[in-house]
Amino acid sequence: MTPPASEQILRDVRDDGTALDVVGIGNALVDVLSHEADDFVATHDLVKGAMTLIEPDRATQLYEAMGPGIEVSGGSAANTIAGVASFGGRAAYLGKVHDDQLGVVFAHDMRANGVVFRSPPATDGPPTGRCLIIVTPDAERTLNTYLGASAYFSPGDVDAELIELSRYTFLEGYLFDRPEAKAAYRTASEIAHGAGRKVALTLSDTFCVERHIDEWRPLVADQVDVLFANDAELRALYGIHLDHAVDRARDEVETTCVTLGPEGSLIVTSEGIVEVPPHPVEVVDTTGAGDLYAAGVLHGMAKGLPLAECGRLGSIAASAVIGHTGARPGQSLAQLA
């Protein structure tokens, strides 16, 4: 059941003939986070700072090795969408969970954020996906994802009404890791452009970029209106130095947002480069920093704000999650803004 808040958003949008701000599509995951010493990463052959896909046996083995955890709804695009809603934006999300306890938690948390989430849970197949996240003392997070039900999101799950209603369709690069989700990505992108809407993409992870580089270069050039990447991902995409990668993105993409960690970010368009300062915070756990940065920028763009202001919202949102454990904001971003 979609609760009243989400129902009300859709009714408002239909009634007043306006739009949703952003619909996100991604792997619907519940995060399991534990803080570990540095040697945990080496001992368990993890790729520090990256997202590695793992199979069920490996997930069980790694979970047994992890310390006591906390469970929080996650998923890259889902974190972004929760952030847009926390800013007061009208947001929706598409992704697949299983009809199990973690699936209930994921759906609850999306709807409790005020997000329209009506993707039906799977009643067969694997359980709800989860991401085992190791946070090391340097606040870096290392992601180990068992996709579970999320991998079965397919073109048939693409909710055309929500995409047509949304100013921006936001897609995560991680979708490219499974054929069905990749096909759904293309379907969603076509529906959005067919309705005169914009498509935004986050590159997600350097390894993810490298896994799909041949498909991504033409796709970014032809089908992406707003690109999110950190400096390493953008360099990986174009295989060149950051300055040249920024130049190339400027030629190929309407708006490119490049995050630079503690140095803030750049928003690049044909009209120039906006340098966005970071929002100061004591870093506890960087999980979700990029996701929430995208939330602030997309919320601002959907509201038609100047790019410098969009960037400021991105910095605020990122700082709100890196100051605590977990990738979802613990407070209203609208109030922080």
Which listed residue (51, 66, 91, 149) binds its own copies by CB under 8 A? 66
The yes or no reply on residue 29 touching its own copies (CB under 8 A) is no
Closest distance of CB 71 from its own copies, Å: 4
Which pair of structure tokens corresponds to residue 301?
């763009």
Q: Which is nearer to its own copies, 68 or 156 (CB)?
A: 68
Beta bridge partners of 198: 168
Is the CB of residue 172 less than 8 Å from the CB of residue 23? Answer: no
Which pair of structure tokens corresponds to residue 195?
């309705």
Instruction: Name the segment binding its own copies (CB under 8 A); options: 49-57, 162-170, 223-231, 328-336.
Output: 328-336
Q: Which residue has the tokens 């480069």?
A: 273
Instruction: Name the segment binding its own copies (CB under 8 A); options: 71-79, 117-125, 268-276, 288-296.
Output: 71-79
Overall residue count recorded for the chain in this entry: 337
Is the CB of residue 29 less than 8 Å from the CB of residue 131? Answer: yes
Amino acid identity of 15? D
The yes or no reply on residue 112 touching its own copies (CB under 8 A) is yes
Q: Which residue has the tokens 């890259």?
A: 76
The yes or no reply on residue 286 touching its own copies (CB under 8 A) is no
The yes or no reply on residue 34 touching its own copies (CB under 8 A) is yes
The yes or no reply on residue 317 touching its own copies (CB under 8 A) is no
Subset of 119-138 contacting its own copies (CB under 8 A): 127
Which pair of structure tokens corresponds to residue 220?
């970014």
List % helix, strand, coil for the chain (3-state, nearest 5): 45, 20, 30
Beta bridge partners of 268: 256, 273
Instruction: Name the segment binding its own copies (CB under 8 A); options: 6-14, 15-23, 107-115, 263-271.
Output: 107-115
Interaction site with its own copies (CB under 8 A): 3, 32, 34-35, 63-64, 66-73, 82, 100-102, 105, 108-109, 112-113, 127, 324-326, 328, 330-331
